[in-house]
């Protein structure tokens, strides 16, 4: 149980296009999902907290108009990288926190990640 | 602002050795601490979660300890195997919120 999927796992796109990444909790509901970014040989940096039915909370320095987050249901959050540029190339990982209420400190389950390469 | 540091950044050991990975955090007001494993190009797998009231957790060959007052945690791996080769990340959840703050990770290579 507690499986999180991401789609696509790989994406290569031209500069200027928009890319949508999906994060799904397959066997549980999640009011809260998180989006992380990871550069090669570096740790995960939290980009934003995705809240079902409300606006996402972005970390300092993350452009909300650049990285659009939609958490339309209790099992799906999407991250859209708008007008992608080569510097957006990275590994994007989502996680989901089980529960229908925002519970602090509960285990987060991570997706397998999406590798984005912008040419 | 919470900062998490992991030492060493990289470690290479022969198979069979017992080893210790270190994690330190600057703000001791944590809710819990978690150790993860990440294989190259993959997501994270949770290994152990220690609540702030606990001192240690064990799972198989893995043992994680927590000293909240000094801001430290260690992950002990017994009888290391080549399959243990991966990056190990520690992360904390502060009392003030529910987001994970990650350390930089330790890249472990266990040679046969």
Distance CA B87, CA B101 (A): 16
Q: Is the pLDDT of residue A100 over 80?
A: no
Distance CA B69, CA B29 (A): 9
- Could you say which of A32, A42, A105 has the minimum Cβ distance to residue B93? A105
Interface-testing mutation among B92, B98, B103, B105, with chain A (most A C-beta atoms within 10 A)? B98
Distance CA A44, CA A59 (A): 13
Q: Does B12 contact A at CB distance below 8 Å?
A: no
Closest chain B residue to A59, measured at CA:
B99
Strands B10-14 and B106-111: parallel
Run of H or E including B2: none
Give the Å distances, CA to CA, from B9 to A43, B51, B83: 11, 25, 19
Residues of B in contact with A115 (CB under 8 A): 41
DSSP string over A41-108: TS-EEEEEEEETTS--EEPTT--TTTEEEEEEETTEEEEEE-S--GGG-EEEEEEEE-BSS--TTPPP
Q: Does B66 contact A at CB distance below 8 Å?
A: no
Residues of B in contact with A102 (CB under 8 A): 98
Dihedral, B43, B77, B102, B28 alpha carbons, nearest 10? 150
Closest-CA distance of chain B to residue A68, Å: 19
- Could you say which of A93, A104, A105 has the minimum Cβ distance to residue B43? A93
Distance CA B111, CA B96 (A): 41
A10-58 pLDDT, tens digit each: 999 999 999 999 999 998 888 889 999 998 888 899 999 998 888 899 9
Q: Report the candidate in B107, B109, B102 with the shortest Cα–Cα distance to residue B73.
A: B102
- Put simply, the answer to whether A103 touches B31 (Cβ < 8 Å) is no
Q: Is the pLDDT of residue B112 over 70?
A: yes
Distance CA B42, CA B39 (A): 5
pLDDT at A42: 84
Q: Is the pLDDT of residue B94 over 90?
A: no
């Amino acid at each position: 149980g507690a499986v999180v999927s991401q789609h696509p796992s790989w994406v290569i796109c031209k500069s200027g296009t928009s890319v949508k990444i999906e994060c799904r909790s397959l066997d549980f509901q999640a009011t809260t999902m998180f989006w992380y970014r990871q550069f090669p040989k570096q740790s995960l940096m939290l980009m934003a907290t995705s809240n079902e039915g409300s606006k996402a909370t972005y970390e300092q320095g993350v452009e909300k108009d650049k990285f659009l987050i939609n958490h339309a249901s209790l099992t799906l959050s999407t991250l859209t990288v708008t007008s992608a540029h080569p510097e957006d190339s990275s590994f994007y990982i989502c996680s989901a926190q089980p529960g229908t209420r925002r519970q602090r400190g509960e285990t987060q389950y991570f997706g397998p990640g999406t590798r984005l390469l912008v040419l | 602002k919470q900062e998490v540091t992991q030492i060493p950044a990289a470690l290479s050991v022969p198979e069979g050795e017992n080893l210790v990975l270190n994690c330190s955090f600057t703000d001791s007001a944590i809710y819990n601490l978690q150790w993860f494993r990440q294989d190259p190009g993959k997501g994270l797998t949770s290994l152990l979660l220690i609540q702030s009231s606990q001192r240690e957790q064990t799972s198989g060959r893995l043992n994680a300890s927590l000293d909240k007052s000094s801001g430290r945690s260690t992950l002990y791996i017994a009888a290391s195997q080549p399959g243990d080769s991966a990056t190990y990340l520690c992360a904390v959840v502060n009392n003030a919120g529910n987001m994970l703050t990650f350390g930089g990770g330790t890249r472990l290579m266990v040679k046969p």
